[in-house]
Amino acid sequence: MLGVVRVLLRWKNHILIASVAAAVIAAGYSWFFMKDYYKSYATLYPINLAYNDRSAIFNLEHIDYYGSKEDVNRVLTIAQSRPIEGYIINGYDLAGHYEIDKSKKFYKTKTQKEFEGNYKVIKTDQGAVEISLFDTDPTLARDIVNDVIEKTDSIFRSSLQGSKKQQLETFTKQLIEREKMIQHYGDTLAVLGKQYGITVKAGFDKTDIIEGSDVRGVQIYKAIYSRQKNALIEYNENSNIKEQIENSLGNDSKSLAVIDAPTIAEKKEKPVRSLIVITTFLLTFVFSIFAALLTDQVQEIRKRL
């Protein structure tokens, strides 16, 4: 240890000069060549679009206002997707903004990497989605985050609306089939009623009393009458569901609830020049110590040889 201390004392001026010089160079470089970056961000939750359905409005069932974890994951996937990146990169001419030469062969890839290095979409500890962007222009950063939210909302809503349109088409077909079935049962019952003189009366316990001149004909009539009744119940249920889906499709509300809206940053976020200078000084100081020890060892070996 005493030998190490003697070596460091002998080289102390070189170590200090190298460390200070590196710190000064780092300060000059960070000041003149490193641009100031401002951060704009937004925190949001997906909204459960079923919340505005008829069943929720009239308290027919409990529906959470915010979407599920799956909805959060869908929003994360959409916000990080290529369509969103391409929409922002082309819409704001980020290649020109990043001063990337468009005559170069791979300028689009370079622009995309630059954007992805500044753009982040994460899930917070509270299960929300946070969209953030670093840029040299604080107003542009705010505008881009706002645009990402709008585009993500549009894609998210269209994906959910597409699923509901398929459901609506399915229920519409089922209703048409039920109508034909009910009509067929009605025609058959009319023929049987006329053939066997069958009558239907309402009983005291709200059950239908079916009477006729032929026992077998009455049994057949009862079976078809029961099927028609069940078909009518299913038809009414499907009609209600179809109406709810139509109301939901007609609702053009937002699918994302923005908790923290993006703003224009007043202070730069990076670079932290003081941290760069201190880190450069400490790293140079440590490497200079090792260099001094190594140089002293080399000199000792040469003397012995």
Tokens of 50: 């079923």
Residue 185 has a CB neighbour count (10 Å cut-off) of 19
- pLDDT reported for residue 98: 94
**Which tens digit of pLDDT belongs to each residue from 59-104?**
545 556 677 888 899 999 999 999 999 999 999 999 999 999 998 8
Sorted by where each starts, the structural domains of the chain and their CATH numbers stand as: 36-272 (3.30.1890.10)
Residue 31: enclosing H or E segment and its boundaries? Answer: helix 2-32
111: confidence class by pLDDT, cuts 50, 70, 90: very high
148: confidence class by pLDDT, cuts 50, 70, 90: very high
Residue 109 pLDDT more than 70?
yes
Residues in the chain, total:
305
What is the rounded CA–CA span in Å between residue 274 and residue 23? Answer: 10
- pLDDT reported for residue 58: 44
- pLDDT reported for residue 87: 95
Bigger pLDDT: 55 or 95?
95
Q: Which residues contact 248 (CB under 8 A, 6 or more apart)?
A: 49, 50, 52, 53, 54, 164
What's this model's pTM, rounded to 2 decimal places?
0.66
**Which tens digit of pLDDT belongs to each residue from 227-261?**
998 989 888 888 887 776 676 666 656 788 899 99
4, 289 contact by CB (below 8 A): no
Give 129's strand partners.
44, 123
Mean of the per-residue pLDDT values of the chain: 85
Bigger pLDDT: 183 or 301?
183
Bigger pLDDT: 124 or 205?
124
Category of 103 on φ-ψ map: left (φ > 0), alpha (ψ -120 to 50) or beta: alpha
200: confidence class by pLDDT, cuts 50, 70, 90: confident
Q: Which residues contact 283 (CB under 8 A, 6 or more apart)?
A: 22
